[in-house]
Amino acid sequence: MPETNPSGSHGVEALFSRGRLTSIPRKPARREQLLVHLTQTLFEPDRTYSEREVNEALLTVHDDYPALRRYLVEAGLLTRPKDGSSYRRTLTG
């Protein structure tokens, strides 16, 4: 029985097959839902990640981890200093 999630992230599971993301949505609103889901499931709040750790986490769901990392940073869900030395999750919840 499918669960309904009032936060709007229900349906994100339709983008996955066997735990892997089948494609990155082109529609901005749908992509935002996916990015929030990835942030909540792959990254812990109040923890600093190296670029390698971010890449490895994203690679578990999709081969185009550089695009996903860029989208997460552009959406403000992950932040990094100008030198790109570390990443932090900004989304709480």
Closest CA to 47 of 91, 83, 17: 91
Are 33 and 11 within 8 A, CB to CB? yes
Q: Which helix (H) or strand (E) holds 38?
A: helix 28-42
What's the rounded Cα separation, in Å, for the pair 46 and 91?
10
Model confidence pLDDT, tens digit, residues 13-70: 999 999 999 999 999 999 999 999 999 999 999 899 999 999 999 999 999 999 999 9
Q: CA-to-CA distance for 34 and 1, rounded, in angstroms?
A: 21
Dihedral sign of CA atoms 35, 31, 12, 19 in order? negative
pTM value surpassing 0.75: yes
